[in-house]
Amino acid sequence: MSTLPNHSVEANRRPAAPPSVGRQFGSLFCARPRLPAAVASPHCSAIMSRLVLLVSGLTVFTAQVIVQAQLELAIRIDSVPIVSVRGPTGTVTQVQWTDEPQDAIRWFHLGHVELLGGDRSLTDLGWSSSCFRCYRAVGVPSTNMVLIPAGTFQMGGNLNDGGPDELPVHSVYVSSFFMDRSEVSRSLYDEVYQWATNHNYAFERLGLGEAGHHPVQGITWFDAMKWCNARSEKEGRTPAYRIGPLVYRTGSEYPSVDWRNGYRLPTEAEWEKAARGGLRGMRFPFGNTIAHSQANYNSRNDYAYDVSPTVGYHPSCDGWSRACTTPGQYFPDNGYGLYGMAGNVGELCWDFYEADYYTSSPVSDPRGPPWGAYAVIRGGGWYEDASMCRVANRHYRFAWGGDISSGVGFRCVLP
Ligand SMILES: [Ca+2]
Ligand SMILES: [Ca+2]
């Protein structure tokens, strides 16, 4: 095992997010050995393996209270980088990496660390000795959520293989948010549902789901919102959805949203940015092609980008002679650490669906048209084809009247 040379360092402070918009998660401190100036540019270089990176000053969430806590991070390079995090006991942190620190959204998920006193370490097995990487640690509510960094992305069907409602491709700035790593599971749904019905909530339907660790499906749009509120209240958070001055707990009405608090459905823009996982202009969360090794969907021969050697419903369902869901973390995650952003169950969003919304949507944190008949669904489900699983694909369902679809579930975000 080699150890880092003991050398003097120069601190070089730069902002981690655009300073004018959105929330800033502390600052990235790059400390580097005294090396030629050319080394400072973020390109792969063998000499970069000598870099020492330090990150601190990040936001940690504890129930409703936002507290500032110091997270210290240190890198040691043996055969691969070993990232150590130090901070207050009980803090849950997500370690992220980037090879382009100047690009706010390209911070990728390395892993979670729960601080239990003393240093905790993660090994970056994806690193190659010729490549430069920066790391940072950010406070997250739990290991079941990841931080999606603030920044601008290109929203819409950039590959001209989708519907006209995916156009025009346009730049959208999205503030940072936390997102569930998986679709809401049947077991989490039932647990919060049980708590909710004992605390003055009333729902239109019972959630369905093939097993506890499979996604819940067959829920109404309004039940999903009330459930988000119940999840918030159960954890001591301020709920997001209100009817007038009241917390939204019963009925089937269109609520107002407190965007600063509580679990809620993602906006369509938040969902698409998260699904893209920090990649630029790709068709799927993991690249430009899709196969049954990557997602649970209905494979056909209709699309060149559907390269699955097995066709029809996912082979894990064959024994049952029917379509099915898969456990929430059955396939590899995307760059942000999210599972199931293509297929399994389609996911309800907050926005009303409007086919020409992109021609007039705001450039910063768009939240959909003010009224509508249909709710946006994203990501495609086990019964749908590869085209429906594209990150740019827009789909919808009647929003009103207790309407449900088998194969549609949701996941929550938290500001
Ligand atoms: Ca999904
Ligand atoms: Ca569509």
The tens digit of pLDDT for each residue in 25-48 reads 333 433 332 222 223 333 333 223
Q: What is the mean pLDDT of residues 371-378?
A: 97
Alpha carbons 218 and 221: distance in angstroms, whole number: 10
How confident is the model at residue 334, as a pLDDT? 98
Query: pLDDT at position 262, please?
Result: 97
The pLDDT value given to residue 124: 86
Ligand that comes closest to the CA of residue 380: 1
- Full-model pTM: 0.85
Cα 392 to ligand 2 centre (Å): 8
Q: Report the C-alpha gap between 353 and 271 in whole angstroms.
A: 14
Q: Which ligand minimizes its atom distance to the CA of 392?
A: 2
Residue 315's identity, in one-letter code, is: P
231-269 pLDDT, tens digit per residue, is 999 999 999 999 999 999 999 999 999 999 999 999 999
**32 vs 348 pLDDT, higher one:** 348
How far, in Å, from the CA of 409 to the mean position of ligand 1?
A: 8
Extended beta strands in 246-345, E state: 246-247, 256-257
CA dist 83 and 76 (Å) reads: 7
- Residue 155 CA to ligand 2 centre (angstroms): 14
Ligand lying nearest the CA atom of residue 167: 2
C-alpha of residue 213 to centroid of ligand 1, in Å: 14
- What is the 381 CA–ligand 1 centroid distance (Å)? 6
Give the bridge partners for 343, in sequence order.
296
163 CA → ligand 2 middle, Å: 6
Percent of the chain with pLDDT strictly greater than 90? 65
Ligand nearest to the CA of 325: 1
Q: How far apart are CA 403 and CA 341, in angstroms?
A: 23
Q: How far is the CA of 328 from the centre of ligand 1 (A)?
A: 9
Cα 86 to Cα 7, 59, 202: the distances in Å are 22, 14, 43
Place of tokens 């249909």: 374
Cα angle for residues 60, 150, 228 (degrees, 5° grid): 65
Element (H, E) at 324: none
Domains and CATH numbers, the chain: 29-143 (no CATH), 150-415 (3.90.1580.10)
Q: Is the peptide bond before 168 cis (omega within 30 degrees of 0)?
A: yes
Distance (Å) from CA 204 to ligand 2 centroid: 27
- Contact (CB, 8 A) for 44 and 132: yes
What pLDDT, on the 0 to 100 scale, is given for residue 157? 98
Determine contact, residues 195/230, Cβ cutoff 8 Å: yes
What is the 333 CA–ligand 2 centroid distance (Å)?
Answer: 23
Tens of pLDDT along 97-148?
888 877 889 999 999 999 888 888 999 888 776 677 788 888 899 999 999 9
- pLDDT given for residue 61 in this prediction: 28
261 Cα: distance to centroid of ligand 2 (angstroms):
31
Task: DSSP letter for 296, please.
Answer: B
**Pairwise pLDDT comparison (117 vs 292), residue with the higher score:** 292
